[in-house]
Structures are given as structure tokens and as C-alpha cells.
Amino acid sequence: MSEETPAPIAAAREDGRHTLTEAEGKELLASAGIDTPSFAVCADADAAVDAAEDIGYPVVVKVSSPAVTHKSDWAGGIGVAVGLDSADAVRDAADEILTTADERGIDADVLVEEAMDLDRGTEVIVGGIRDPSFGPVVLTGLGGVFTEIFEDTSHRIAPIDRAEARSAIEELQSLPLLEGYRGSEPADVDALADAIATVGDLVTEHPIAELDVNPVLATTDGVIALDALVVLEDH
Amino acid sequence: MFEPSAVAVVGASKVEGKIGYEAMANAALFDGPVYPVNPSASGELFGSEFVSSVTDIDDDVDLALCCVPGPAVPDVLEECGEAGVGAVVLYSSGFAEAGDEGEELQETIVEIADEHGISLLGPNTSGFLVPARNLRCSFASGVEEIPAGNTAILAQSGGVAHTLAYQSRRQGRGISAMVGLGNRANVGFAETIEYFDGDENTDAIVLHVEGTDDGRGLLEACRASDTPVIAYKVGQSDVGDFAESHTGALTGDHELYTAGFAQYGTPTVDATDDLMDAAAALGDCPTPDGPNVGVVTAQAGPGIIITDRIQRAGGRLPKLSESTQERVDEILPGVTYADNPVDTGRPMPEFGEIVTAVAEDDRIDIVLVYELFEEALGLPVEDLDGLAERVGKPVLFATEGIEETLAEEREALEAAGVPTFATPERAADAAGTLARYAQLQAGQPATDGGTGTTPTVGDAAEPEVTADE
């Protein structure tokens, strides 16, 4: 374990939480050098609009609360609002989330985030877990059906270097989709390898039980973590 | 444990068929003194006087074979500790494999063992064998027939350990040791791999793994071993629940073992036969520098089977160099096929020369030969004698014929440093494991079956330069 506990982990610990919020998870990834969309956590609708102006439209507004883990399922689907391209749209979405949270008696903020064009790249899963027998391990695989139906994932015992992470990617049967096919741009496999190695380092160095970055958008010039779920070990 | 000067058999019995009898019968073959211990028995067993406790033996007993039932084990261990016995084999079951009470009993005995510095093999094992020392600490029958060789068998299951040992004998090979680890109370994979890596009689270590709570320790021991290690991990169908795509559900036990072994330089196989074949190939041959296999066959059909299979097994089939092709053509003008594989069409006196030419090709890291046994010609023992050592490459030989007729020549080949195989498939698989071992040890991902990265026949890749180990 490293001597310094990263701020997002310390914050969760302080609250007695095992699960980091998405914003905390992304802060953790960003502090380790993994790109995320620009985002801000806002306590009210005015702040959300200001953040959206800073980030630039379109944006996504999401509920941000330790009490909500499945944001898109929460409160009939109002927890995630995508493609917001005006101050009014942001204000409405933020108000609805904050009011509903109030009604339900939970502490919530809103996460305002730069909207990403998913067509810019390929969705990949990068994960890390602390296995009882092997200790920290990492996995990667392509998102969606490739992982869920074809079980096309590849594992490594962490920590690993970039070359080992590359070999994990190259083992995937869906590799051709990352290398570019039918004219699509090849993904930046080195950047993806670095992200896998970084996830391995995070799980190795900090008291993390599970770290899911699902999806990572692998583009031709780098990778971007679009979501992050971090579960801490029992203390 | 594996180099005792005197052995005690605790719970030795005069009743044939009891573990205490069978274990004593096998242990009595040991070159050193073997003492039967049983407080309620008297007289002699296999020429040795019964004693009532290990503490009563006036000798340096450093290994005790414990044949008593589980609940009696703690007392026996206390006595062993008192007598300064450093290693104990626990045959009995009813420990961690048998529920909460057994688990508690296992914790108790580990505490006692740790207190006295005793290494425990088992419990729940059928023991171990070191044939070269006539150390046959197993209660199974027939173990006295298992010959000495250079493969150490380390199996989680005592039953699989014996299966592999008997196979080794049937295949005319032999073992440096067979160890059934059982419940691995305080002697596990890591400890035994380290020990047999340092054993001068061991040239290859094979592992049978069902599952361990220290996977990382196992992998690290494999990586630290200078002696080649090959693993057979059982339990492929026990995979994670893929219904949910999060890391926990996506990470099955088997994936981690398979990925981990490869990452830590250890090739894996999927059958007991493959395990012993790979051990023969890795243990009896120089370590290959790469995955490029040169095939020489006296018959086209088996050669085609080999070339078809070898790439799926992890090998590559490069084109032979022009000078080798010319050389082959000089030795046998009009040869059926002069590239890789070289097909001579039938056995002939020049066959050994052809094998030598292929072995000396810089593009080739591993040589695999197939030849049906032709009584009038015999096998090319003279040409192949010392060839592997001279060129620094493994030379494998598969042959078939009437077993008794070819036995002598086959043994001569083995003695000349050429491991032999009974079928083209097994020879191809062994060559594939050698190829994967070379790649994994060089830190390259091994070409594995079905991943779509296998090069095609005749891929004229330049030989890769890899550092010697």
C-alpha cells in the first residue's frame, strides 16, 4: 500500500462508505493519469448551469450520491440526462434530480459532464479486482456482447507493465475491432495498455477490492474513462 | 522430508491391507533403517522390531509416516516434535477437506507442527516417492516398480500423483520424485517447487493443480525455478458467471490460473499424458531458443498430421534455409519434399543425415522426427547420438511398429538424448509445449491454439534472436 491515501478514497473512508461515487472514482483515475471527460459536481441548478457553460455544450447531467449506485435506473430514469445543449435543459435536469432526491430524503448533488461521442471509438472494459488467491489482478475486454456473450476477456496478475498489458489486449479475439476494420480508425492500443497497467497499479497500491472502468472509450488518440465504479476493501 | 537418514512408520500394522501394513511394506524398501511404531504391537515387521513411540527410538529418525486416524494425529505430532523428527507424512483424511471440525483439527496440527518446526506432507495424501533413494513412502501397491528418472511430479491429488508415476513407468521413463500434496497443511506447491528446483536429479517439474489459496505464491515459485515447470490446471468448466459484466463476475478461477501461468513463464497442458510428454521433452533436451520447429518424416501422412497439429499446439514451421534445402537435395536427390516438413517418402539409410541437416539449420529451434520402424534399417541412433547437445536444440522422435521389436532401438534413442513418443499427435503436442516454453521464458506471448495469431505453413519469418536463459 502506498503511504498516501488518495483524496477520493480518504473521503469515502471518512464517510464510512465502501463505494466511491462516480466523481470520486473519476478523480482517482484522473489523479493516476487516466483521461476522463471534464466534469464538475454541483450542489444546485445554478452551479450546474455555470459548470455546463465552462465545460461547453452538449453535456450530461447525472445524479451524484453515495445512495445511488445504478444512476440510470434511479427514480424512473431521471438520474441520467444526456445530450443537454442549453442552460435551460441543464437547469431542468438538475432541478428534477435534486427535487426528487429531496423528496426521497437522500443527499445528492448533480454531476455535470462533457458529453462524449461514442462513435469516436470502441467501448472497452478495464477492471481490477483483488482475488483471494492471486491478489491484485486486471482484466480487459471489449464492451457489450463481446464480454457478456462471447466471454472474450483477458486477465493478468497485477502489477504489470505496458508490454504485458499489450499482450493481454492482443490475446482478445475481438482485437481486430481495435485495430480498425472496414475503414474504421485503429484505437490507440498503447494508451489502452497504459490504462490497464494503471488500473493494476491502483488496485495493487490502494485498499481497493474492485475497480471497474466500464466503459473506456478507446479512440485513435487516447482512451477516456466514461464511468468508474470503485469498491474499497473492508477495513 | 525427501532425504531422511531413518524413517519411522507410526501406526505400522501386521494386518495386510491396512494402510499401516502397506505403508510399512513400501517404506521397508528404503536403504536406511525403518522403524515400525505401534504401542499395541510387538515382534517384528519386515525385519524391524516394533517400538511403542517415536520417542523410544535410539536413532536420528527424521521422517515419520503417520498411518493413524485423524483424531490421534495431534498426539503423534507432539511425540515427533519431542523426538526431533523434522518431517511427517499424514495419510489420514478427515481434515480441512471434511467440514468445520476437520478444518479445526487441521489448524491444531499445523500449530503443533509449526511449534516444533515440522514439515507436514498432507494430510489426506497417499504420500511420496523418491525412487533413486528407494524411498517409497506411499501405501499404494506396485510403487516399488516405478523407476528413477528426472521428472518431479507435484500433484495436488495423491491419486493423480500415482496416475502420473505409473504412466511414467509405462512410457519407459521415470521420476526423480512423486509427491501427493493433499491438503497442503504446511508443505505446498511453492515449497516443493523450490526444493525440487534445487534437486540435482530433477530436470523437469510437472504440476497438477486443482486450486490453491495462494495462487500468487505458486506462480512466483514457478517463475523463480530454473528447472522447467509445466502445469496441468484442472477445472476448466468452473468459470465465473458471465451474466453480469463486472470484473468480479468476469474473473473465474481458471482464467487466472491460465493467464497467470503464462505470465509467469509456465506452459500449461490439458491432459496427464501431455504433462509427462512435456516433462520428457523439457527434461531430456536442451532448452530451445524459440518456437520454430523443423519436421522430418519418413511417411507423408503422419508428417501432415504433425504439421497440422504443431501450429495449434504452439509451434511455428518456418521455411528451411536455402543451404539446408540444397543439402537435403544433395543427400537425397529427388527427395519427395525438401522444405519443412522434409518428407523422405520412406525410411532409408540417409534418414539420420537428413535429420542432422535440419537440426543444423539456424532457422530451426526444435527438431521433430517421425519414422515408422523398419526392422532392416532400425532407427538412426548413431546419427542422432549427441546431436541435440551439439546443436543445442531439442530433437524429438516419434515412431511406431511392433513394440517388442523396436524397444531396444527406442531405448537406445532415449539413451542418446532423444525423447521418443508413441503417436504423431503426442510428439507434436510436446514440440508445441517446448515452443511455448521458449516464448514464455523469453517474455513473449506464446502462440496458443485458436487465438487466430498462428502463422501459416511456410511462414518464412527470420529466426528470432532471443537471449539465452
The pLDDT tens digits for A17-53 are 899 989 999 999 999 999 999 999 999 999 999 999 9
CB-based contact A147:A153 (threshold 8 Å): yes
Is B131 inside a domain boundary? no
What's the pLDDT at B237? 64
Same domain, yes or no, for A23 and A129? yes
Tell me the shortest Cα–Cα distance from B248 to chain A, in angstroms: 7
Domain CATH number, residue A77: 3.30.1490.20
C-beta atoms of A170 and B453 within 8 A: yes
Among the listed residues B173, B169, B164, B126, the one whose alpha carbon sits nearest the alpha carbon of residue B144? B169
Q: Would you call A24 helix, strand, or coil by DSSP?
A: helix
Please give the backbone phi and psi of residue A193, each rounded to the nearest 5 degrees, phi first.
-60, -40
Q: Report the alpha-carbon distance of residue B342 to residue B320 in Å, rounded.
A: 9
Q: How many CA atoms lie within 13 A of B134 on its CB side?
A: 12
Q: Report the alpha-carbon distance of residue A33 to residue A51 in Å, rounded.
A: 22
A65 residue type, one letter: S
What's the pLDDT at A210? 94
Same domain, yes or no, for B289 and B247? no
CB-based contact B319:B295 (threshold 8 Å): no
Cα dist. B358→A8, A226, B407 in Å? Answer: 62, 55, 26
CB of B259 within 8 Å of a chain A CB? The answer is: yes
Is A190 inside a domain boundary? yes
What's the pLDDT at B447? 59
CB-based contact B438:B320 (threshold 8 Å): no
C-beta atoms of B256 and A170 within 8 A: no
Same domain, yes or no, for B164 and B206? yes
Same domain, yes or no, for B307 and B240? no
Domain CATH number, residue A192: 3.30.470.20
User: What length does chain B have?
Assistant: 469
| Cell digits of residue B262 | 503464462
Last residue of a domain, one of A66, A83, A114: A114
CB-based contact B184:B116 (threshold 8 Å): no
Same domain, yes or no, for A86 and A53? yes
Q: Which residue of B has its CA nearest to A211?
A: B247
Determine which of B244, B247, B255 to mutate to test the interface with A (most A C-beta atoms within 10 Å): B247
Q: Which residue of A has its CA nearest to B264?
A: A157
Is A210 inside a domain boundary? yes
The pLDDT tens digits for A150-180 are 778 899 999 999 999 999 999 998 898 888 8
Is A1 inside a domain boundary? no
Last residue of a domain, one of A114, A143, A174: A114
Same domain, yes or no, for A54 and A104? yes
Q: Which residue of B has its CA nearest to A143?
A: B245
| Cell digits of residue B121 | 506432507
Same domain, yes or no, for A139 and A227? yes
The pLDDT tens digits for A65-123 are 888 877 888 888 899 999 999 999 999 999 999 999 999 999 999 999 999 988 888 89
Is A162 inside a domain boundary? yes
C-beta atoms of B247 and A167 within 8 A: no
Same domain, yes or no, for B425 and B341? yes
Number of domains in chain A: 2
Is B466 inside a domain boundary? no
C-beta atoms of B242 and A135 within 8 A: no
Tell me the shortest Cα–Cα distance from B66 to chain A, in angstroms: 30
Q: Which residue of B has its CA nearest to A167?
A: B445
Q: Would you call B253 helix, strand, or coil by DSSP?
A: helix
CB of B314 within 8 Å of a chain A CB? The answer is: no
Same domain, yes or no, for B202 and B165? yes
Across the interface, of A148, A149, A212, the residue whose CB is closest to B247 is: A212
Residues 6+ apart with CB under 8 A from B116: B77, B78, B80, B81, B82
Last residue of a domain, one of A114, A146, A168: A114
Q: Which residue of B has its CA nearest to A151?
A: B242
Same domain, yes or no, for B299 and B408? yes
Angle made by CA atoms A192, A197, A201, in degrees to the nearest 5: 145
Same domain, yes or no, for A58 and A130? no
Is B134 inside a domain boundary? no
Angle made by CA atoms A52, A127, A55, in degrees to the nearest 5: 10
Q: Report the alpha-carbon distance of residue B351 to residue B328 in Å, rounded.
A: 10
Tell me the shortest Cα–Cα distance from B454 to chain A, in angstroms: 12
Number of domains in chain B: 3
Domain CATH number, residue B29: 3.40.50.720
Residues of A in contact with B219 (CB under 8 A): 134, 157
Q: How many CA atoms lie within 13 A of A7 on its CB side?
A: 8
Same domain, yes or no, for A207 and A148? yes
Cα dist. B86→B7, B8, B120, B326 in Å? Answer: 11, 12, 9, 63
Determine which of A155, A174, A214, A216 to mutate to test the interface with B (most B C-beta atoms within 10 Å): A155
Is B314 inside a domain boundary? yes
B52 residue type, one letter: S
Same domain, yes or no, for B280 and B347? no
Across the interface, of A139, A157, A210, the residue whose CB is closest to B263 is: A157
Domain that holds residue A215: 7-35+118-232
Q: Report the alpha-carbon distance of residue B107 to residue B170 in Å, rounded.
A: 39
What's the pLDDT at B252? 63
What's the pLDDT at B337? 77
Same domain, yes or no, for A64 and A18? no
Same domain, yes or no, for B211 and B320? no
Domain that holds residue B242: 146-284
Same domain, yes or no, for A62 and A24? no
Residues 6+ apart with CB under 8 A from B111: none
CB of B212 within 8 Å of a chain A CB? The answer is: yes
What's the pLDDT at B120? 92
| Angle between helical axes of B424-441 and B300-312 (0-180°, round to 10) | 30
Domain CATH number, residue B184: 3.40.50.261
CB-based contact A218:A193 (threshold 8 Å): no
Q: Report the alpha-carbon distance of residue B65 to residue B37 in Å, rounded.
A: 10
Is B136 inside a domain boundary? no
Across the interface, of A128, A151, A212, the residue whose CB is closest to B242 is: A151
What's the pLDDT at B98? 78
CB-based contact B278:B242 (threshold 8 Å): no
Tell me the shortest Cα–Cα distance from A168 to chain B, in angstroms: 9
Please give the backbone phi and psi of residue B215, each rounded to the nearest 5 degrees, phi first.
-60, -40
Residues 6+ apart with CB under 8 A from B223: B264, B265, B266
Same domain, yes or no, for B332 and B405? yes
Residues of B in contact with A128 (CB under 8 A): 247
Same domain, yes or no, for B313 and B434? yes
User: What length does chain A have?
Assistant: 235
CB of B238 within 8 Å of a chain A CB? The answer is: no
Q: Which residue of B has its CA nearest to A149?
A: B242
Query: Residue B444 CB: number of other CB atoms within 10 A?
Result: 16
Same domain, yes or no, for B303 and B412? yes
Same domain, yes or no, for A27 and A122? yes
Sign of CA dihedral B303, B308, B313, B318: positive
Same domain, yes or no, for B334 and B355? yes
Among the listed residues B280, B266, B91, the one whose alpha carbon sits nearest the alpha carbon of residue B167? B280
Kindly provide the ipTM of the predicted complex, given to two decimals: 0.83
Residues 6+ apart with CB under 8 A from A68: A74, A79, A106, A108
Give the pairing type, strands A80-84 and A59-64.
Answer: antiparallel
Residues of A in contact with B213 (CB under 8 A): 132-133
Residues of A in contact with B239 (CB under 8 A): 151
* Chain A interface residues (partner B, CB cutoff 8 A): 125, 127-129, 131-135, 137, 139, 141, 143, 147-149, 151, 153-157, 160, 163-164, 167-168, 170-171, 173, 210-212, 214, 229
C-beta atoms of B251 and A151 within 8 A: no
Listed in sequence order, the DSSP H helices in B392-465 are: 403-415, 424-441
CB-based contact B74:B49 (threshold 8 Å): no
Across the interface, of B215, B245, B452, the residue whose CB is closest to A125 is: B245
Q: Report the alpha-carbon distance of residue A64 to residue B285 in Å, rounded.
A: 62
Same domain, yes or no, for A124 and A220? yes
The pLDDT tens digits for A172-229 are 988 988 888 777 789 999 999 999 999 999 999 999 999 999 899 999 999 999 999 9
pLDDT mean for each 10 residues of chain B (469 residues): 93 90 93 92 88 89 92 92 93 83 88 93 91 94 94 94 95 94 90 96 95 91 96 72 46 83 94 95 93 94 94 92 90 82 88 93 96 90 92 96 92 92 95 94 65 35 37
B5 residue type, one letter: S
C-beta atoms of A157 and B256 within 8 A: yes
